[in-house]
Amino acid sequence: MASKQFNVLIKGKFLPPRLMANLEATFTTFRLWEAADQNAYLNEIGSKIDAIVTSGNAVMGASAALIERLPNLKVICSNGVGYDAIDIEAARARDIIVTNTPEVLNDCVADLGMALLLDVARRVSEADRFTRAGKWTQGRFPLSCKIGGKVCGIVGLGNIGQAVAKRAQAFGMDIHYYTPRSRPDVPFTRHETIMSLAQRADFLVLTLPGGAATRHLINADILQALGPKSYLINIARGSVVDEQALIQALEKGQIAGAGLDVFEQEPQVPEALRQRDNVVITPHIASSTEETMGAMADLVFENLQAFARGDAVLTRVV
């Protein structure tokens, strides 16, 4: 199909500028988020849409309700590895292809996981606030927690989990993990339950997928098992953690602290987390480097171009 006859619905504005520019130069694009009345806009253009471009972000994705409004939809290309915000069953039911951006973001997501781990354990952000506030002249900054020799417990040992393991090993950490099925291919210590891993871990690092199947796997019991000297690091999805239980565990001193890049209601972050010195917070930026966002943008575009040409897409989810 000639590219300009290929109609692409762009779901929201949070896509890399390079991807937006490529999409607009190549295809006919429709900007859903700009429509004052999205319902009326979908009535008008819905039947001509061939593709959706979206991201893994919770406010983006592609719901069953949106998919239903697009009777000629053939492909959904997402700028992200996680696809929990896309209704995969609705896509599958109509043989709509879904693509994501695996591999290209492994290093940067793992880097941010280690950055959060190091920051919350060594109290880097807290020490920065202390120094800026001129408190050094009044006394020494309190002691922090050594990383080397500690157990890094990784929940979900996929590509990102393994990239975290490699980094944590270089810091002298002992790697334990939980996966539902055994992984004879990896040399680390497997736990059969998240509870057992939490009991053993000094740092519980979440790298598992989001979605209904993993919702609130990290609950009050797991946090209590993690214990008052241990930390939670979340670079997966906010939905994986019961955020209210996390707030209570922090308030009661049941865990030592947390490093969080993802939250249950993004972009909202509860005040109870924002005010704590032993919580390091970043706004879902694990993959947000120039290099990785560029690689993701190119992969989204290449998937869409391949589909429009009639070729197989590169990174298909369903």
Position 99 contacts ligand 8YV (CB under 6 A) = no
Measured CA distances, 8 to 40, 53, 63 (Å): 17, 7, 16
Residue whose CB is less far from ligand 8YV, 219 or 288: 288
Q: Give the angle subtended at the CA of 282 by the CAs of 279 and 286, to the nearest 5°.
A: 125
- x-marked contacts with ligand 8YV along 5-24 as a string, rule CB under 6 A: ---------x----------
105 binds ligand 8YV (CB under 6 A): yes
What does the per-residue mask of binding to ligand 8YV show for 69-88, with x meaning CB under 6 A? ----------xxxx------
Residue 232, classed as helix, strand or coil, is strand
> In whole angstroms, how close is the CB of 55 to ligand 8YV at the nearest point?
4
DSSP per-residue codes, 90-159: HHHHTT-EEE---STTHHHHHHHHHHHHHHHHHTHHHHHHHHHTTGGGG-PPPP----TT-EEEEE--SH
Q: Is 305 in the site for ligand 8YV (CB under 6 A)?
A: no
In angstroms, what is the minimal distance from the CB of 127 to ligand 8YV?
A: 28
Whether residue 126 lies in the annotated active site: no
Using an 8 Å Cβ cutoff, are 77 and 62 in contact? no
Decide whether 109 or 255 has the Cβ nearer to ligand 8YV.
109
Residue 53 to residue 23: CA distance in whole angstroms:
9
Confirm or reject binding of residue 33 to ligand 8YV (CB under 6 A). Answer: no
User: What residues numbered 136-175 form the site for ligand 8YV, per CB under 6 A?
Assistant: none
Binding site for ligand 8YV (CB under 6 A): 14, 55-57, 79-82, 105, 287-288
